Amino acid sequence: MSARISRGQCANCTCSPGLLSRANRRSSLFAQKINIKRSQSGTINGLQSRKGSVFTIDAASLCLPDVKEINTTKRLTALRKKMAENDIAVYIIPSEDQHQSEYVSSFDQKRSFISGFQGSAGVAIVTRDLMCMNEIPEGLAALSTDGRYFNQATNELDFNWLLLKQGSIDQPTWEQWAINQAIQQSLDSGLTVNIGVDPKLITNKLYQKLIKLIETSINEPKNSQAKVELIAVSENLVGSIWEKFESLPNSPDKNSISILELKYSGKSVKDKLSQVHNHIFKTSTNIEGLVVTALDEIAWLLNLRGQDIEYNPVFFSYLIITKFHGVTLFINKLRLSPEVLAYLQLNNINVESYESFYSNLLTLSKEFNVNSKQFLVPNNSNWDVIRHLKCGYNQTLSPIEDIKSIKNETELNGAKIAHLKDGRAIIKFLAWLEDQLINNQELIDEITADEKLTEFRKEEENFVGLSFATISATGPNGAVIHYKPHKGTCSTINPSKIYLNDSGSQFLEGTTDTTRTVHFDQPSYEEIKNYTLVLKGNISLSTLKFPENTTGNLIDSIARQHLWKWGLDYGHGTSHGIGAFLNVHEGPIGIGPRPNAAANPLKPGQLISNEPGYYEDGEYGIRIENVMFIKDSGKFYGGKKFFEFETVTRVPFCRKLINVDMLTEEELAWVNGYHNIIWNELHESFDKNSYVYKWLRRETAPLVKSR
């Protein structure tokens, strides 16, 4: 159900003149600015109305955002009826699509549709009470998500839903909760209880984990009489009821696909295929085929880019590479232009329909089985892939994911170019925002700031789009790690509070991801101290040298050490891999405490973020994020090479928030050297008489200790 919020419904918003009044300013100033709007004339007291300023604010619309409020009662009832038709008592609804994408298209946001929760990570579980004899089926519904989304989920879930706080000591995992519900229903009814899931939406690894957990749970003496099975439900039950409540989003498989020129990719399709071919088939005589389901891997391998998923330049497809049958791309053929078709033909890529992937896989695997050959199946493939294999298989890290993560020289140069462009846009933005808030005393909300930054990015050549939804957060909103402002409901930026901006771009040359935390007024001692501790962590990781075969979990504490000294920390990873005009989050590497950061060593050529932070709930958030690449340091010890990082981000830190006396001489030299690079590379981009030029000169001027 969609609704507009009336003024009388406002609670703790920032749209009233009283709440928007600034320190040392009369609240009547804002009211004055609202009242002088004259929409019909186009001028106000002889002044030209300025788009985006308070002169264009319509006071009547300040509290009238378009907010989608969903009562899920009827949706859950419809789903439970579908569950009954399929003899399912517990139904699992993951966030992922059939390609296990981190971000999914609107068409695939089934978990959001059924729960109302719009966050990107989480699992929904819906139960159907087998003992209920009512015409309207009953049951429970739970949404599991992690700490980044607890506040958002609390606000967005209606009364039908329980929130399972992933990682909290006093709550079960969603897997255990779902199995416990099934066991209890089996014990109560004496029946075999089925847990259902769309096999395309979970990995085989997760399937195996659930099977093992079911076996362990029913082997407990108190549950010995329970009978529980995990079954595949090929028809997606949420998808089957969607159109009863709202129009199904358009399938994105009609969007255009383009060829990424060699001057951006740095390596031809034939060279990439040869590299993959050698990696797979020359190291194993038993492997005869590779299944590729990850969209960014297919886009990288074929030097093609699409727009099927917002922020990610990928397209829906599958790929099968075989030793003797060549390479086959499974895609909607109608979306391929004559140019792309000719390009694929030139590179000996066969094209089949997207829908025929599983039948082709089944046929090939039967042939492989006769010859005692196997498929190599990446860990990120879905369970349905395994279900269609009629031959042996070896499941491991995708060789394409590993090869793709090591950028070639062209891709690394592209990253530098992309960050130079993005740095110029962010510098313009931060200078503009300061000028508007402080000098012009304008009222800028988080969305307006986001839109202005995007305007500056669009001025750069080869800008394709954003690489993720911008986190534009003032004051306490910055403490919400994955905060997303919404038009009409977002906060107005308060210059006396910390402002955090985490954003990125997609350029033909590369993908960017930058976070800067700034203050426009007088920060407190605590804010300065904590910002400086985060900065010290960023510098420590930036300047680290480490031996080959080092995994990210081993160096995570390098970035946290300064916070730890004060008993402080942050609840997210320190680093993630980054694609080359591809996904902003890329495997297989990372730096953090989680097991995935321990799985694969850091290698030269990999692009990685550096983003320590600190969050004071209800007050402010601090995060400083740069992008770096790994390179050979030229040092050796014990027969091992040592690697180091080179930072490519080109945005200065906030000097107001730096306690220079907390920095060591080495740290101070690094910051001043970094700022000097930014000044030298970018100051000529701006007019010497402009506010941006003066802002950049001030922010990059050498820092000096007070003692």
What is the tens place of the pLDDT at every residue in 423-443?
999 999 999 999 999 999 999
Of 377, 324, 376, 369, the C-alpha closest to 350 is 324
**Token couple for 160:** 């039908």
**End-to-end alpha carbon distance in the chain:** 62
Q: What type of residue sits at position 589?
A: I
pLDDT tens string 338-370: 999 999 999 999 999 999 999 999 999 999 998
* 3-state secondary structure labels for all residues of 572-596: CCCEEECCCCCCCCEEEEEECCCHH
The CATH number of 258-401 is 3.40.350.10
Could you identify the residue written with the tokens 């007291």? 45
Q: What is the pLDDT of residue 192?
A: 96
Give the three-state DSSP class for 232.
strand
Please say whether the dihedral angle defined by the alpha carbons of residues 585, 589, 590 and 595, taken in this order, is positive or negative. Answer: positive
Q: Percent helix, strand, coil in the chain (nearest 5)?
A: 40, 20, 40
- Strand ranges of the sheet holding 463-466, from the earlier edge strand across to the other edge: 463-466, 505-507, 510-511
Cβ atoms of residues 229 and 183 within 8 Å: no
Question: Residue 54 in 3-state DSSP?
Answer: helix
- Give the residue from 136, 152, 691, 164 showing the smallest Cα distance to 471: 152
- Helix (H) / strand (E) containing 692: helix 691-700
- Residue 642 neighbours by CB under 8 Å, 6+ apart: 545, 546, 547, 548, 632, 633, 634, 635, 636
| Tokens, residue 326 | 């060549």
329 close to 348: Cβ distance less than 8 angstroms:
no
Strand partners, 406: 606
**Which residue type occupies 14?**
T
How far from the centroid of its chain's Cα atoms is residue 63's Cα? Answer: 29
User: CATH fold of 409-700, please?
Assistant: Creatine Amidinohydrolase (3.90.230)
Q: Which are the contacts of 680, defined by CB distance < 8 A and separation ≥ 6?
A: none
CB count in 10 Å sphere of residue 574: 28
Q: Where in the chain is the domain with CATH 3.40.350.10?
A: 73-244, 258-401
Q: Residue ranges of the chain with pLDDT lower than 70?
A: 1-69
Whether 630 contacts 604, CB under 8 Å: yes
Handedness of CA 429, 435, 437, 443 (dihedral sign): negative
From residue 625, give the alpha-carbon distance in Å to each of 42, 427, 559, 567, 613: 42, 15, 12, 22, 9
Q: Are 59 and 31 in contact (CB under 8 A)?
A: no
Max Cα distance, the chain (Å) = 85
Secondary structure (3-state) at 506? strand
Q: Please report the pLDDT score of residue 104 as a whole number.
A: 92
List where CATH 3.90.230.10 sits in the chain. 409-700
Helical (H) or strand (E) element with 343: helix 338-346
CA distance 337 to 323: 28
pLDDT of residue 606: 98
- Burial label for 461, CB within 10 Å (0-12, 13-18, 19+), is exposed
**18 and 30 Cβ atoms separated by less than 8 Å:** no
Residue 141 contacts residue 78 (beta carbons within 8 Å): no
User: 């109305």: which residue's tokens?
Assistant: 49
- Using CA atoms, how far residue 494 sits from 309, 441, 444, 519, in Å, is 33, 11, 9, 9
User: Residue type for 21, please?
Assistant: S
Quick check: bond before 199 cis, omega within 30? no
Any idea which architecture 73-244 has in CATH? 3-Layer(aba) Sandwich (3.40)
Token pair of 153, please?
A: 């989920």
Q: How are beta strands 318-322 and 326-330 bridged, if at all?
A: antiparallel
pLDDT tens-place string over residues 566-600 = 999 998 999 999 999 999 999 999 999 988 899 99
Structure-block tokens of residue 679: 């000044």
Collapsing DSSP states into helix, strand and coil, what is residue 3? strand
Which element (helix H / strand E) includes 451?
A: helix 446-458
Do β-strands 326-330 and 349-352 pair in parallel, antiparallel, or remain unpaired? parallel
H helix runs in 190-326, sequence order: 204-218, 237-241, 262-265, 269-281, 295-302
User: Does the CA dihedral 502-505-506-509 come out positive or negative?
Assistant: negative
d(CA 121, CA 126): 17
Amino acid symbol at 250: N
Residue 58, pLDDT score = 35
